[in-house]
Amino acid sequence: MTKPPPPTTPDGRYLVVDGRLWRRSNPALGPRQRELLVAALMRARADVGRAKRARDVTAERRARQRVHRAKVGLGERGPPWWTDGTPDLNRRLVRNTPYADWFQGLPGGPVDRV
């Protein structure tokens, strides 16, 4: 059985996973740019796993830096990709944000998603 995708906030800025907001990638990225960044992210994540299994702390640190750079490029970290001045709520519990009522009102309720 496949899990349904996590809910996306009405403004498209965040996904909600386990009751926490996670910034979505920048929708203004072109398809090729997004494809390259996602490929770099997946390679870096795989390298993190290999380095951890090998207990290579230096390789793990370098791979994690590459993960971070790819996520910044995608807009998931670093400065927010929106320009209206709304603060970034990345990694915050949805119940402590302006999205709380929206999340509470989703079909099935938030209890099913936490």
pLDDT of residue 108: 72
User: What are the pLDDT tens digits along the chain (114 aa)?
Assistant: 788 889 999 999 999 999 999 999 999 999 999 999 999 999 999 999 999 999 999 999 999 999 999 999 999 999 999 999 999 999 999 999 999 999 999 987 655 444
pLDDT of residue 51: 98
β-bridge mates for residue 14, sequence order: 23
54-73 burial: b if 16+ Cβ within 10 Å, else e = eeeeeebeebbebbebbbeb
Which residue has 């498209």 as its token pair?
12
pTM of the model: 0.85
pLDDT of residue 79: 95
pLDDT of residue 110: 56
HSE-up of residue 112 (Cα within 13 Å, Cβ side): 12
> Residue 21: is it exposed, middle or buried by C-beta count within 10 angstroms (0-12/13-18/19+)?
buried
